[in-house]
Amino acid sequence: MFEILEKRSLNPTVTLMRINAPKVARKAEPGQFIILRTDADGERIPLTIADFDRQSGSVTIIFQIVGATTEKLNHLNEGDCLQDFVGPLGRATETEGLKKVAVVGGGVGCAIAYPVAKKLHELGVEVHSIVGFRSKDLVILEDEFRASSSKFVLMSDDGTAGEKGLVTDALKKLIDSGEKYDRVITIGPLIMMKFVCKLTKEYGVPTVASMNPIMIDGTGMCGGCRLTVGGQTKFACVDGPEFDGHLIDFDEAMARGAMYKPFERHAYEEACN
């Protein structure tokens, strides 16, 4: 069983949990994910590894309360145990040869973007982090990003935190001001990543997007996480979760994500009643 060592609310809908999972912590790298079940009858949900500590054997996850399982998960407390915690799964973020990178995160996607920024910073890469939230009360990990970035830009939709505007506005401004990035790494809502990739394609900046589709087995067997990348079918769980953002069919990914919304809403209502 995987004990919850720490539980912290980052904002009204986002929670951090540190889980005792020494075998996962031993091999985890930024960009990889785990699949957990809260109990024996529970649904399997993928969550990206937000941090890990090999010495203490703990793995940190950050999740948004959006559905039945994350609601159930959020009801657990320190000292409670998870039924399953499988990982690390997927491929780690590629960092080889990078000198200067813009990390662009949106909303709870910043929980995934942060360990990537941190790892790049530790490797001596110049990191510019651009993060966006709807409003001030939803901002997470600001201090952590600042500590891992030589440039940090905070954007909000309503102007209550940082500058008012979109992450694409900030990225465009930086590129137009002469910043030259080896790579842009973007993690957040599909619509945001779509427009980040559209922008960087125009400027010819290589871009990686981290995809988080529905996953079931996490081993490439069920096909639930399939995406079209460069005209080919790929599985986010084994081929990803990071892909060349200029080749991803974002419109298809958004349509597939929307297909499951009524089922998720139904399960959420059942879990809450």
Binding stretches for ligand FES (CB under 6 A):
215-218, 220-225, 235, 237
**Is residue 195 a known part of a binding site?**
no
CA angle 203, 207, 210 (to 5 degrees): 150
Q: Does 4 count as an annotated binding residue?
A: no
Nearer to ligand FES, 76 or 238 (CB): 238
Check the annotation: does 225 bind a ligand.
Answer: yes
Q: Is 81 annotated as a binding residue?
A: no
Q: In this complex, which beta carbon is closest to ligand FES, that of residue 84 or of residue 169?
A: 84
- Toward ligand FES, which CB reaches closer, 58 or 210? 210
| Minimum gap (Å) between residue 238 Cβ and ligand FES | 6
Q: How far is the CB of 255 from ligand FES (least distance, A)?
A: 18
User: Which one, 224 or 257, has the nearer CB to ligand FES?
Assistant: 224
Nearer CB in complex with ligand FES: 126/217: 217
Is the separation of the CB atoms in 127 and 120 below 8 Å?
yes
Question: Is 34 within any annotated ligand binding site?
Answer: no
14, with CB counted inside 10 A (0-12, 13-18, 19+), is buried
By C-alpha distance, which of 158, 273, 256, 259 is closest to 211? Answer: 256
Please give the Cα distance from 168 to 89 (Å, whole number). Answer: 30
Phi and psi, residue 132, nearest 5°: -130, 145
Q: Are 237 and 218 in contact (CB under 8 A)?
A: yes
Answer for the pair 196, 219: CB distance below 8 angstroms, yes or no: no
CB of 120 to ligand FES, least distance (A): 26
The DSSP line for 157-220 is SSSSSSEES-HHHHHHHHHHTT---SEEEEES-HHHHHHHHHHHHHHT--EEEE-----SSSSS
Are 182 and 97 within 8 A, CB to CB? Answer: yes
Helix, strand and coil content of the chain, in percent to the nearest 5, comes to: 35, 35, 35
Q: At its nearest, how many Å lie between ligand FES and the CB of residue 63?
A: 18
State which residue, 112 or 131, has the beta carbon closest to ligand FES: 112
Q: Least Å distance between CB 34 and ligand FES?
A: 13
| Alpha helix (H) residue ranges in the chain | 22-27, 68-75, 110-122, 142-148, 167-176, 190-203, 236-239, 250-259, 261-272
Amino acid making up residue 103: V
- Min dist. Cβ of residue 246 to ligand FES (A): 22
- Measured from the CB of residue 44, what is the shortest distance to ligand FES in angstroms? 9
Select 35 or 130, whichever has its Cβ closest to ligand FES: 35
| Binding-site residue set | 62-64, 222, 225, 237
The annotated binding site for FAD is made up of: 62-64
Known binding-site residues for [2Fe-2S] cluster equal 222, 225, 237
